[in-house]
Amino acid sequence: MVKPKFIGINHVALEVGNIDEALEFYGRFFDFTLQSRSKDMAFIEMGDQFIALSAPREQPRDIDRHFGLVVDQRAGLREKLEKAGVEIVTPKRLDFIDPWGNRIEIVPYEDIQFVKQPGALELLDAGRLRKTDAAKQELLDKGIEPPAGV
């Protein structure tokens, strides 16, 4: 029997204490489009992926468990988070703990081998994004030709 292969991530679900408070918290630091919401769920667009916020949170704070949230740029974000009293847990990378104990690593799109399809980038008004030479080389090392203009 052939085993399924990992292809990608459709979404990440984060448990939060309150949907309204979570949307307000994340909205202070990130520009996003709300896909839909209900009393206990909210869905934040990421082009061809999404983040699902679910309330209430029932588990303890995350220590090492985290996910890497890819952003178009992170300049100034550390300072904004620190000014707001958000706990930053890494000195060199940018990992923070949200008010409900979710650990999130902020990863710049330009630095990683992750590639969004041009249509998904356009949906996010991020068609201008480019990759560093190191990120392009990581793709090439895997036999993946970076899309034109990246």
Alpha-carbon dihedral angle through residues 127, 136, 116, 98, given to the nearest 10 degrees: -100
3 part of a folded domain: no
Let me know if residue 37 belongs to a domain.
Answer: yes
- Domain membership flag for residue 91: yes
Residue 117: per-residue pLDDT: 79
C-alpha closest to that of 64 among 104, 6, 18 = 104
User: Is the residue at 144 inside a domain?
Assistant: no
Average of pLDDT values for 21-26? 98
Residue 149 lies in a domain: no
Q: Is the pTM of this model over 0.85?
A: yes
Give me the CATH number covering residue 51.
3.10.180.10
Give the pLDDT confidence of 35-93 residue by residue, as tens digits: 999 999 999 998 889 999 999 999 999 999 999 999 988 899 999 999 999 999 998 89
| Predicted local distance difference test score (pLDDT) of residue 8 | 80
pLDDT in tens, 93-148: 999 999 999 999 999 988 888 887 777 778 777 767 788 888 888 888 888 888 77
Confidence of residue 19 (pLDDT cuts 50, 70, 90): very high
CA distance 133 to 130: 10
How many domains is the chain partitioned into structurally? 1
Contact 94, 77 (CB under 8 A): yes
- 74: containing domain: 11-136
